[in-house]
Amino acid sequence: MNEWVIEAKNLTKVYKMGEIEVEALCGLSMQIAPGEVVAIMGPSGSGKSTLMNIIGCLDRPTAGEYILDGVQVSNLKDDQLAAIRNRKVGFVFQSFNLLPRATALANVELPIRYSGSGKGRKERAKQALESVGLQDRIYHRPNELSGGQQQRVAIARSLVNNPAIILADEPTGNLDSKSGEEIMHLLLSLNQERGTTLIIVTHDPGVASKTHRVIHIRDGMVEEEV
């Protein structure tokens, strides 16, 4: 086991907006240990989203090193990044991002389909849905589920390939406070049961207070760690 599941060194990300170059990250470094629950907070424009995209292997840093679960990710090709995302990262989005026409089960099956291992797909998807408490809703479509339930399906989807980290972007942002709390509770209990590293990007101090550690980002740098 590696010492760190996430190790970022001097991450720099520069966007070109026409003629002007915008530095979204300027030499950011951080480490996250396996099994940790970390919140990333920061005002808009702080580079928080950029950091999240790089951690989630959706984007590459302009400079610097990023090692995810022992794999040097910084200079992988698109399809290799896709494979890393598929196996090592589980995404939970603010707006759930479920396929509207597919059943809960089919939505959860999606990452397994892209991983190329078709064996026991249905069983694994069912188990994942069971672990989020939706075993009796597996054939419902997203529009037949409440917001909280939809987010549970999304969490099941993020779990199904046993990723190294779960990256949740404002997971409670579109939910009322009660289901928001339920979702937070679910995420934390999954972290305890499975030991999956959980990274939550949030504005909500209430959410951040439930994590082990909060990383504040400002102007593309780590401002403080609490």
Partner 1 sequence: MTIWQAFIEALQSLSANKLRSGLTILGIVIGVAAVIAMISIGRGAQDTITGSIQGIGTNLLFVFRGGSEDVRNPQPVTLGDAEAMADKFQAPSVEGVAPILQGNAKVTFGKESHLTQVSGVTPDYSSVRNIKVTEGEFITEDQILGQASVALIGPDTANKLFGRKEGVVGETIRIEGQPFRVTGVLESKGGSSFSNQDDRVLIPLTTAQSRLLRRSTRDRVDLIMVQAINAQSVPLANDEISEILRNRHRTAIGADDFTVFTQQDFLDTAKTITQVLTIFLGGIAAISLLVGGIGIMNIMLVSVTERTREIGLRKALGARRIDILIQFLTESSVLSLLGGVIGIALGWTISYIVGRIAAANQAAINPSMGLDIVLIATLFSTAVGLFFGLYPANRAASLEPVEALRYE
Residues in the site for partner 1, rule: CB under 8 A? 53, 56, 58-59, 78-79, 82-83, 85-87, 91, 93, 97, 99, 101-102, 110-111, 113-115, 118, 157, 161
Q: Nearest distance from residue 117's CB to partner 1, in Å?
A: 12
Residue written as token pair 């990044």:
81
Nearest-approach distance from CB 23 to partner 1, in angstroms: 17
Q: Which is nearer to partner 1, 79 or 224 (CB)?
A: 79
Query: For residues 80 and 177, which CB has a smaller minimum distance to partner 1 in the complex?
Result: 80
Cβ contacts of 123 within 8 Å, gap of 6 or more? none
CB of 79 to partner 1, least distance (A): 5
Of the candidates 27, 65, 15, which has an alpha carbon nearest to the alpha carbon of residue 221? 27
- By beta-carbon proximity to partner 1, the closer residue of 32 and 167 is 167
Residues 97, 44: Cα–Cα separation, whole Å: 22
Instruction: Name the pairing type of β-strands 71-72 and 63-68.
Output: antiparallel
- Comparing CB distances to partner 1, the nearer of 79 and 136 is 79
Q: Shortest gap between Cβ of 47 and partner 1 (angstroms)?
A: 14
Least separation in angstroms between CB 115 and partner 1 = 6
C-alpha 103/C-alpha 87 separation (Å) is 22
Q: Which residues contact 132 (CB under 8 A, 6 or more apart)?
A: 152, 153, 155, 156, 159, 186, 190
Specify burial of residue 225 (Cβ count, 10 A radius: 0-12, 13-18, 19+): exposed
